[in-house]
Amino acid sequence: MPTLLLDKKKCLRNMERMAGKAAEKGLSFRPHFKTHQSAEIGSWFRAYGVSSITVSSFRMAAYFIRSGWKDILVAFPFNPHDLARLNALSGAARISILLDHPAALPFLERLDHPVDFYVDADTGYGRTGIKAEDMEGIENLLNASHSVKKLHFRGFYCHAGHSYKSADPGIKNRIHQKARQDLANLKKQFSSYDPLALYGDTPNCSIQENFNGIDEITPGNFVFFDLMQLALGSCTPDDIAVAMSCSVTGKYHDPRRMLIHGGAVHFSKESMVLNGQVVFGQVAGADDKNGRVEKGWDLLQDGPFLTGISQEHGILEKCERIDDRTGIGDLLNILPVHSCLTANLMKEYRTLEGDLIQTLNGCF
C-alpha cells in the first residue's frame, strides 16, 4: 500500500513562516484546515498563536470542534441543506459562513444561535461571490440580512484563486493588487459596518508583501505545499512536506518505464504540465531499502515523472536515470501535484519518525 509520508520539521517550519509573516504584516491568521484535515496537525498551529480556523464543509467543522477549536469559518457559500448542522455546531463554537446571494437568507431565519457571515467577494476569479464592483448587489444582500435575527455581518472574504493560473510575476501581482484594492474599496464603502477583509490563498500569501487593507489571511496549502505550488513559485523544493512512498512493481523497456502501486485513488487525478508533458507526480528520491526515508526528499531530481495513472496503477516514464539502482520492491518517494486532494484520499500520514497521524477521513 502506498504511504503518505510527512516531514514534520518542514511542516512546522511552513507553519512558523506563515504565522511569522502574518504577525510581521499585522494580519490575523486563520489557516484553512481543508489541506491536512487532521486534528493532530491542526493542533501544531496552536504553538504559533492560532485560535481561529477555516474549513470547507460542516463535516470538517464538526471534526475540528471535537478537537477543541472554537472559532471556525466554513468558507463555502451557505448550503441550505446544512442548516441542521449549522444549528448543531453554532451552540458549541463561533461559526462563520459565507453568503453571496439573498436567496440563502430565508433558510437562515431558523438559526438557533448567533452566526457571523462574510460576503464572498469576487475580485476576478469567477468561481463564487458577488462581483466586488457590484456595490448595489452587496448593499441589497446586507440590507436583506438585517431582517434575519442571529445573523451578523462581519466583513468580506476573497479567494483570489486565479493566482493558481499563472506563474508570471506580473500577472500574479496584478491579481493581488486588484483584490487588495477591491477589498479596500469595500471596507470604505461599507465602513459603517466596520467590516473585516479576509483574504488569502497560498500563492498570494506566500509571494506577496503588501497586505495593506487586509485584516486576516486564510491560506491552507502552505502547510504541505506540492508540485503545483513549486511551479507557481510559492515555495522551494525543500519546503514540500509530504511525499508518497510507493513500491516499484514493474520495470519495462521500449519505452523505459516503471510501474508503481500508486494511482488515482492515492494521488488523485490532479495533473499539471511539467517539461511539456502532463504529470501526476515527480520522483524525489528513494528510501534506504529498509523502509525508512534516508534524507527526506530535499533534492528534486529532474524527473522521472508520474505520467500515467489509473485506479491503482502509476506509470513512471523516462526512468533511465534511476533504472540501474531501482529494483522491483524498492520504495520511491513521489511528490504530489496537489497535496490537498492527495491527503484527502490517503486519510492518514506517517511521519519520518514513523508515527501515524490520523485525519477526518480515517477509519480507526
Catalog residues that contact a second copy under the rule CB under 8 A: 1, 34, 56-57, 59, 76-81, 100-101, 103-104, 107, 127-128, 131, 161, 247, 249-252, 254, 259, 261, 264-265, 268-271, 308, 310-313, 315, 327-329, 331, 340-341, 344-345, 361-363
Closest approach, Cβ 213 to a second copy, in A, equals 25
Smaller CB separation from a second copy, 134 or 238:
134
Three-state DSSP at 135 gives: helix
Smaller CB separation from a second copy, 241 or 309:
309
Cell numbers for 171, please give them.
500577472
Smaller CB separation from a second copy, 127 or 188:
127
Cell numbers for 194, please give them.
466596520
Closest approach, Cβ 238 to a second copy, in A, equals 25
Smaller CB separation from a second copy, 98 or 241:
98
Three-state DSSP at 356 gives: strand
Closest approach, Cβ 340 to a second copy, in A, equals 6
Smaller CB separation from a second copy, 25 or 251:
251
Cell numbers for 93, please give them.
463554537
Q: Which residues, including other chains, have CB under 8 Å from residue 132's CB and lie 6 or more apart?
A: 121, 122, 123, 158, 179, 182, 183, 185, 186
E strands present in the chain: 3-6, 28-29, 53-55, 71-77, 94-99, 115-122, 130-131, 151-158, 196-199, 216-217, 242-252, 257-261, 272-274, 277-279, 281-286, 305-309, 313-317, 331-336, 348-351, 356-358
Question: In angstroms, rounded to a whole number, what is the distance separating the alpha carbons of residues 128 and 295?
Answer: 42
Closest approach, Cβ 79 to a second copy, in A, equals 4
Closest approach, Cβ 307 to a second copy, in A, equals 11
Smaller CB separation from a second copy, 2 or 285:
2
Smaller CB separation from a second copy, 215 or 312:
312
Closest approach, Cβ 349 to a second copy, in A, equals 17
Do the strands 242-252 and 331-336 form a parallel or antiparallel pair, or are they unpaired?
Answer: antiparallel
Closest approach, Cβ 20 to a second copy, in A, equals 26
Question: In angstroms, rounded to a whole number, what is the distance separating the alpha carbons of residues 254 and 111?
Answer: 64
